[in-house]
Amino acid sequence: MAAPQLVAYAPDVAKQLDLAAADCTTEAFTKIFSGNHLLPGMEPHAFCYGGHQFGNWAGQLGDGRAVNLGEVINRRGQRWGLQLKGAGLTPYSRRGDGLAVLRSSLREFLCSEAMHHLGVPTTRALSLVMTGEQVGRDMFYDGNSKFEPGAVVCRVSPSFTRFGSFEIFALRNDLETLRRLADYTIEVDFPLFGKSGPQLYSRWFAEVCQRTAELMVHWMRVGFVHGVMNTDNMSIFGLTIDYGPYGWLEGYDPDWTPNTTDIPGGRYRYCNQPQIALWNLAQLANALLPLVGQTEPFEEGLQMYSASYQQQWRMMMAQKLGLQQFEPGTDLALTTELDRMLRLTETDMTIFFRCLADLDSSNDQTDEQLLTPLLDAYYQPEELTVQVRRQICSWLRSYLQRIADDGRDPAARQRTMNAVNPKYVLRNYLAQMAIDRAEAGDFSLVNQLLEVMRQPYTDQPHHQQFAYKRPEWARHRPGCSTLSCSS
Question: Given the rule CB under 5 A, which residues bind Mg ion?
Answer: 233, 242
The single residue of 232, 262, 331, 348 carrying the catalytic annotation is 232
Residue type at 282?
A
**Residue 61: which of ligand AMP, Mg ion, none does it interact with, CB under 5 to 8 A by kind?**
ligand AMP
**Residue 245: which of Mg ion, ligand AMP, none does it interact with, CB under 5 to 8 A by kind?**
none
Backbone angles phi, psi at 70, to 5 degrees: 140, -165
CB 90 → ligand AMP: shortest distance, Å? Answer: 7
- How far apart (Å, rounded) are the C-alpha atoms in residues 326 and 313? 10
CB 273 → ligand AMP: shortest distance, Å? Answer: 16
Nearer to ligand AMP, 52 or 354 (CB): 52
232 a catalytic residue: yes
Query: CA torsion angle for 404, 410, 416, 417 (degrees, to 10)?
Result: 70
Nearer to Mg ion, 219 or 429 (CB): 219
Question: Given the rule CB under 6 A, which residues bind ligand AMP?
Answer: 61-65, 93, 96-99, 228, 233, 242, 244, 485
Query: CA torsion angle for 198, 199, 204, 206 (degrees, to 10)?
Result: -140
CB 445 → Mg ion: shortest distance, Å? Answer: 27
The full DSSP string for 188-246 is HH-GGG-S--TTHHHHHHHHHHHHHHHHHHHHHHHTEE-S---GGG-BTTS-B---SS-
- How far apart (Å, rounded) are the C-alpha atoms in residues 434 and 108? 12
**Residue 97: which of Mg ion, ligand AMP, none does it interact with, CB under 5 to 8 A by kind?**
ligand AMP
Nearer to Mg ion, 61 or 349 (CB): 61
Scored b (16 or more CB within 10 A) or e, 268-287 reads bbbebbbebbbebbbbbbbb
CB 436 → ligand AMP: shortest distance, Å? Answer: 22
HSE-up of residue 224 (Cα within 13 Å, Cβ side): 30
Nearer to ligand AMP, 267 or 469 (CB): 267
**Residue 93: which of Mg ion, ligand AMP, none does it interact with, CB under 5 to 8 A by kind?**
ligand AMP
CB 451 → ligand AMP: shortest distance, Å? Answer: 28
Is residue 45 within 8 Å of 100, Cβ to Cβ?
no
**Residue 139: which of Mg ion, ligand AMP, none does it interact with, CB under 5 to 8 A by kind?**
none
Residue type at 427?
R
- How far apart (Å, rounded) are the C-alpha atoms in residues 98 and 66? 8
Nearer to Mg ion, 95 or 462 (CB): 95
Q: Which residues are catalytic?
A: 232
